Structure 1
């Protein structure tokens, strides 16, 4: 991945390993790159001593047009929904002037010891709200 412009944006050139025999990017690769961008964004959150674990509860990808080998794409992570125990993200994938895809990820907060759903920490919730329009 290329150096991001901001913590929630990454520009990549589609590598050969991510395309099928027709030269189109595998659906799983959209999700993989989206998760990498989201990890960079998430690393900017406030550090907490008693932070819960965050577990993927939902992952989906809407493909508008397939990306091709060596094509440049910009992946942008945004906060979509903030719930009591979960947070939803949309990672948009743009190439040239087109929206190529959108990856939706929902993470659920879980207790480190119990593994049961827990409320999002207030500090994390406040940080997330700063990204909503």
Structure 2
């Protein structure tokens, strides 16, 4: 049974984030998703054993355009936990309508060599509560 998502951020689409057609720029969907993911990680105190993370994949599916003044609620789900990576799904909702979902995959790397390494067990355990 999947755990509940953790709701993080709500924002109102500002004028600076829309194009000439009045729709939110596509890059802003990813920017906002990364902002929500950063807030998600702020819940967990950093540990000495934490690896360096690099973004290895970003996909964004748009279901409906956002416009100036739209109020958007974002929530974060852990979508997968691999041996060396973790995937996160950020959903954006306008009222009860899902407008976008962005998947971001982070790969764990050695802090010095920046080569992929296994996720530490304590980190995996923490992530599992959101899977």
| Common fold: TM-score over 0.5 | yes
Asked if 1:130 corresponds to 2:129, the answer is: yes
The answer as to 2:45 corresponding to 1:58 is no
Q: Which residue in the other structure is 1:67 paired with?
A: 66
Structure-1 separation of matches of 2:71 and 2:63? 16
Q: Who is 1:76 aligned against?
A: 75
* Kept after mapping to 2: 8 A contact 1:19/1:26: yes
Structure 1 unmatched ranges of 5 or more: 1-5
Structure 2 unmatched ranges of 5 or more? none
Give structure 1 regions of 4+ aligned residues with deviation exceeding 4 angstroms.
none
CA deviation vs aligned residue, 1:61-94 (integer Å, no higher than 9, x gap): 1000010011000011110000000000000000
CA root-mean-square deviation: 1.4
Instruction: Determine whether 1:25 maps to 2:15.
Output: no
* Structure-2 residue corresponding to 1:3: none
Q: Which structure's relative contact order is higher, taking Cα pairs within 8 Å and 6+ residues apart?
A: 2
- TM-score, normalised to structure 1, is 0.91
- Count of aligned pairs between the two proteins: 127
Map of 2:47 onto structure 1: 48
